[in-house]
Structure 1
C-alpha cells in the first residue's frame, strides 16, 4: 500500500469513527440505548483506545442497568485519559459499590490533587474515606469541600450530616443556619426540622417551626409532601387531632389532593379508625370513578393494608382508564411482586418483571421504576443488581429517604455493613420518622458490634412499635453485651407475662442463668419449653442445666417426647446425638447426627455437629468432607471456610488451607482468627510478607488480648526484619500464654530467634532454654515419647548448640 493510500485509509477510519460517535450520541439522547451501545462499540472496533467512546459507552451501559459493563468502561476511560476528572469521580462512586474502596480513594485523591478547588472531588474523597471506616479523616475532607465552596449547598449539607454523626452539634447547627440562608425553601427547612427532631423531644418546638416554614415555602410539586411531613411530625409528638387538621386543610386548599387523602386515610387507620379510613378512600373513588389517579390511590391503600388482590384490581382499573399512567403500572408491578413473593399467584414475579422492563425501556419515571426493579432483583437474589438500580435512582433523586433505606438493606445483605450504616444514617436524616429504617439500623449496628447504638436505635423504634418482639430481643442482647444485665432483663420483662412468647421467656432464662439465679432461670426456660416444646435451643439449655444439677433423666424425657411428636425434625435429631454422646453411645450419636443432615441438608449446624464428632474420633478426612458438604449448602459462610482451613493446616495441606482462609476473610472481614492463621502460614513460608503484616495487624485489632495473635504479629515482623518491634510482641505473647499450653515452646523459640537477630545473644540462649524446658514439661505431662520431637524443637536444639553457653 502506498503512503498516499495508507493516509487515505486512516482518514476514512477517522471519519467512520466520528460517524459512529455522532450516531451513538443521538441514539443515547433519544433513549435508544441498545442502538447507542452498538454504535460506541463500532467506534471502538476502529480505535480500541478512543477514550471518549469508552466514556460514552460507560454511560450507555449504566443507563441500561448494566452496571458491571459500565464500571469496566469507566475504568478504561480513566486509564486511557487520566485528565478526565469527571470520569474519575464517577468511577470512584462505582468503585465503592463494587467494594474497591481503596481504588475509589486513590482516584478521588488524584482529582483533588489536580483540581484543588473542585468541591465535588473532596465530597467523593470523603465518601471513600467513610466507606473505609476512617471517619475522622472523612470529616476533615468534608470540611475542606466547604472551605473551597462555602456557598455550595450540596457541600454544606454533606458536611452537616457528617458533623452531626460525629456529635459536633454546634458546628451542625451553624451549617443548617447557613443552608437555610442560602436556600430558604422546602428541602432546606425540612432537612433542618428532621435534624432538630432527631436531637430529642426538647427540640420539638423548633422542629415544628422548621416544618411549618417548609410548608410555607413549598412549591407546587412539594406541597403534598410538606403537608404530609407536618402531619407526620404531629403524629410523632402525640398530637393526632392536629395531624388530621393539617391534612384536612391540605385537602381543602390544594388542587392535587389524592396523596393527602391517602395519607389521611392511613392516619385514621393507624389510629384504629378503620371504617372511617375506608370510607374516605371509597367515597373519593365513587366521587371520581373515571379518574385513574383515584384508582391508583385506592390500589396503594389496599395493598398497604394487605388486600393485594383488591389493590391489583384497582391498579388495573387505573391502567384501563389511562394506559399511559406509569405510576399505575409500577403499582401493579409492586403488588404482583408481593403476590409472587408470597406464592399466592403463579407467574406473578415474571409479570412484574415484564412491566418494569417495559417502563425502563420507555425511559419514563425512571427513579421509581428503578426502585421497583431493585426490589424485584432482591426478591430473586440479585443483590448487586439491586444496589446498582438504587444508585441510579438516587442519582436522579438523591434525597429519597425510602430508596436510601432499601439501599441500606441491600448493602447489609452484601455484608457491607459500614456502607449500609452510611446510607441508613442519610435516610434517617432525611426522614426521621422512617420506622423501618430505625429497625434496620439497629440490626446493622449489631452486625458491627456497636451495641450502644443498637440500644439507642432499638429503643427509638420500640417507642412506636412496643410489640416488635425481634427488636426487643435485639435491644436486650445489646444491653447484655454492654454488661447491663438488669436493664436487659427490665427490657424483656416490660412485656406482661401473658404476652411473652417462648423466645422472650428463653432470653429471660438465659439472663437469669448468667446472673446466677438458677431457680428463676429454670422456671423461665420451662415456660419457654411449654410455648415451644420442640425448640432445640431451649432443650439444649435445659439439658445443660439438668447435667449440672443431676437431672439428666428429665432431659431424656423431654427429648423423647419432642422426637415422638416431631420425628422428622433435624435439630431434634442433633440433640438426640448429644444425649447419646452423654450416655457414651458413639454409634447411636453418629447415626443421629447423620440422620439430622439427611433430614435437613440446608442446616449447617447438623454438618458442624457431625464434623466435630468425627474430629474427636480422629477421622480427619471424613471431617473435612463433612465441612465441604456444608459449604455446598452455604458457600459464603466464613466460619465453614475457617474450619476447613484449620483442618487442612493440621493435615499439612498448606495450599488448600490458604484458599480456605482467604475465602473466610473475603466473606467475613471480622474473622480475626482466620487472618491470624493465614498471616502465620505466609510468615512461616517467607512469602507475601506485606500481606502477612496487614493480616496480622488486622487480627491484633480484632483480638487484642490473644497470645497467639501477638506471637503471629511478632513472627511476621521478625521475618520482615523489624526485630526490635518483633521482640515487643513476642515478649507479650510469652507472658500471655498459659504455661500448660503446648504452643509456649514455639513462642519462646520465635522470641529467641528475634533476640539473636537483634544481637542479644544471652537473652536468646536463656529463652531457648525456657523453650525446650516448656516442651519437655508438656511432653511429660501428656505422656508422649520424648524421642519424638516436633520440627521446631529440632531447630531450637541446633540453634542452642550453635550459640553455646550464655557466658561463652
Structure 2
C-alpha cells in the first residue's frame, strides 16, 4: 500500500502540465458550444441554443461570450429579466463588451420603465454613486421617458467614472442627436465612441445620420458605407439610401433600396412607410394605402403611416373617411399637430366653422409649445402644388434613441 501511494505522488511536474492541458481543452470546448449556440440562435432555435450556452458556461465559467449568448437566447424567448442577468454577467467579466451594453439597454427599453424599476435604479445610484453601470441604467430610463437632459447628466457622471467606455460616448451622442445638436455635440461624441470601438455598426450609422442632418452628404455616405462593411445586413442603411433618392425624385432607385431593406428585414416599418410615400407621389393610391397598412400591421402606433393614410383619402376627396383617419392619428398621438390642421381644413370645407376653429387653435398651441414660434404653414392645406406637398410629406431622417420606436420626424 505504501508503495502504491508513493507511486501516485511521484513526478508532480508531469501532473501540472496535464491539468493545464485539460484546462485549455475545456476552454476550447466552451467556445465550440458558444459557436454552436450562436448558429442555433440564428436558426430560431432558442431553447437548443440555451442548452449550448449553458454547456459553455459549465466548461468555462469566465467566458463572457457564453453569458452574452445566453442573454440573447432569453430575449428570443421573451424572458427579458433573465436576459438582463446574463448581459450584466457578461459585462462584469468583460467591462469593454460594448455589444453587451447595447443589448442590455435594448432589453431595458423593451421591459419598459415601471415606476418601481426607476425607484430601484435611483436608489442604486444614491447608494453607490461610483457605480458606472448604475449611472448608465438610470440614464437609459430617463431617456426612455424623453427626459433627455437628466439622461445626459447621468451619462456624463458615468463618463467621469469610466472615461474610456465607448458605450457612454455613444449614448451621449444619441441624446444630443435627439436634441438636434449635431456638429458641436453628437458628431464629436460618435467619433470618440468609434475611436474607442471602431466596429460598432450603430455608431457609424448614427454618425451618418448626424452628418446627413448637418447637410454633409459626402461624409454621411462614407459612414453608411462603413456601417455596411461592418454589418452587410444593416437594413436601415438601405432605407436611408432610398430616402435620399426619394428626395431627388428618383423613385425607381428609391424602391430598389426599400426592397433590399425588406429582403434583409421583412418587418422594417420605415421601408413600407416610405414605399407608401413613393406610390402616393405617383398617385398610385391603392398601393400607397397597402404599404402604409403593412407598416401599421407591424406597429399599430406608427402615427406617420396612419397620417399618410388620412392624407391619401383627403387628396382623393373622400372627406368623411379622411376625418375618421385623422381621428385615428390623434388616438395614437394627441399632439400630432398636422392632423389637427388638416382635419380643420376639412371641417372648414364642410362649413363646420366651430370644429375647424377648434382644430386650428389646437394646432397653433402645439406648434408654439414645441417651437416657441407662431404656427407656420406646415401642413398640406389642400394645395395642388406637388412641390409643396412633397416638402410636407417626405419624412426627415430618423433620430435613433437607443433603438426606440416612434422617434421619426417628418
Q: TM-score, normalised by structure 1?
A: 0.33
1:312–1:453 CA distance, 2 compared to 1 (3 A)? closer
DSSP 3-state at the match of 1:347 = helix
Distance 1:421 1:262 in 2: 39
Preserved CA contact (<8 Å) 2:135 2:158: yes
1:310–1:540 CA distance, 2 compared to 1 (3 A)? same
Matched, 1:451 2:182: no
Per the alignment, residue 194 of structure 2 pairs with 428
Distance 2:93 2:197 in 1: 28
DSSP 3-state at the match of 1:642 = coil
Distance 1:565 1:382 in 2: 27
User: Which among 334, 354, 358 is matched to residue 587 of structure 1?
Assistant: 354
Shift of 1:455: 4.3
Matched, 1:407 2:157: no
Per the alignment, residue 182 of structure 2 pairs with 417
User: Which among 511, 527, 540 is matched to residue 311 of structure 2?
Assistant: 540
Distance 2:330 2:376 in 1: 35
Distance 1:380 1:344 in 2: 8
Per the alignment, residue 322 of structure 2 pairs with 559
Preserved CA contact (<8 Å) 2:155 2:172: yes
Distance 2:138 2:331 in 1: 39
| Unpaired segments ≥5 residues, structure 2 | 1-22, 298-304, 378-410
1:558–1:252 CA distance, 2 compared to 1 (3 A)? farther
Preserved CA contact (<8 Å) 1:299 1:310: no
1:353–1:325 CA distance, 2 compared to 1 (3 A)? farther
Q: TM-score, normalised by structure 2?
A: 0.59
DSSP 3-state at the match of 1:415 = coil
User: Which among 328, 352, 362 is matched to residue 607 of structure 1?
Assistant: 362
Shift of 1:462: 5.8
Shift of 1:297: 6.0
Matched, 1:578 2:349: no
Distance 1:379 1:564 in 2: 26
DSSP 3-state at the match of 2:374 = helix
User: Which among 288, 292, 304 is matched to residue 525 of structure 1?
Assistant: 288
User: Which among 55, 65, 75 is matched to residue 283 of structure 1?
Assistant: 55
Larger relative contact order (Cα-Cα within 8 Å, sequence gap ≥ 6): 2
User: Which among 345, 369, 374 is matched to residue 643 of structure 1?
Assistant: 374
User: In the TM superposition, what whole-angstrom CA distance separates every residue of 1:118-158 from its partner, at most 9, and x where no partner exists?
Assistant: xxxxxxxxxxxxxxxxxxxxxxxxxxxxxxxxxxxxxxxxx
1:339–1:410 CA distance, 2 compared to 1 (3 A)? closer
Shift of 1:416: 2.2
Shift of 1:421: 1.0
Q: How does 1:46-195 map to 2 (within 5 A)?
A: none
Distance 1:556 1:452 in 2: 43
1:295–1:403 CA distance, 2 compared to 1 (3 A)? closer
Shift of 1:420: 0.9
Which structure has the greater CA radius of gyration?
Answer: 1
Shift of 1:282: 1.2
User: In the TM superposition, what whole-angstrom CA distance separates every residue of 1:381-402 from its partner, at most 9, and x where no partner exists?
Assistant: 5544544554455556554332
DSSP 3-state at the match of 2:128 = helix
Matched residues, number: 329
Q: How does 1:259-408 map to 2 (within 5 A)?
A: 264=35, 267-268=38-39, 271-272=42-43, 274=46, 277-286=49-58, 298=67, 301-302=70-71, 305-306=74-75, 307-311=79-83, 342-343=111-112, 347-360=116-129, 363=130, 367-379=132-144, 383-391=148-156, 393-394=158-159, 398-408=163-173
Preserved CA contact (<8 Å) 1:405 1:424: yes
Q: How does 1:654-733 map to 2 (within 5 A)?
A: none
1:474–1:386 CA distance, 2 compared to 1 (3 A)? same
DSSP 3-state at the match of 1:476 = helix
Preserved CA contact (<8 Å) 2:187 2:207: yes
User: In the TM superposition, what whole-angstrom CA distance separates every residue of 1:149-182 from its partner, at most 9, and x where no partner exists?
Assistant: xxxxxxxxxxxxxxxxxxxxxxxxxxxxxxxxxx
Shift of 1:347: 0.9
Preserved CA contact (<8 Å) 2:306 2:328: no
Per the alignment, residue 381 of structure 2 pairs with none
Matched, 1:440 2:209: no
Distance 2:125 2:72 in 1: 18
Shift of 1:568: 5.3
Shift of 1:351: 1.5
Shift of 1:424: 1.2
Preserved CA contact (<8 Å) 2:187 2:211: yes
1:358–1:453 CA distance, 2 compared to 1 (3 A)? same
Preserved CA contact (<8 Å) 2:190 2:207: yes
Shift of 1:408: 1.4
Preserved CA contact (<8 Å) 2:142 2:151: yes
Distance 2:105 2:165 in 1: 23
Shift of 1:286: 4.6
Preserved CA contact (<8 Å) 1:265 1:278: no
Shift of 1:279: 2.4
Distance 1:512 1:502 in 2: 16
Matched, 1:489 2:255: yes
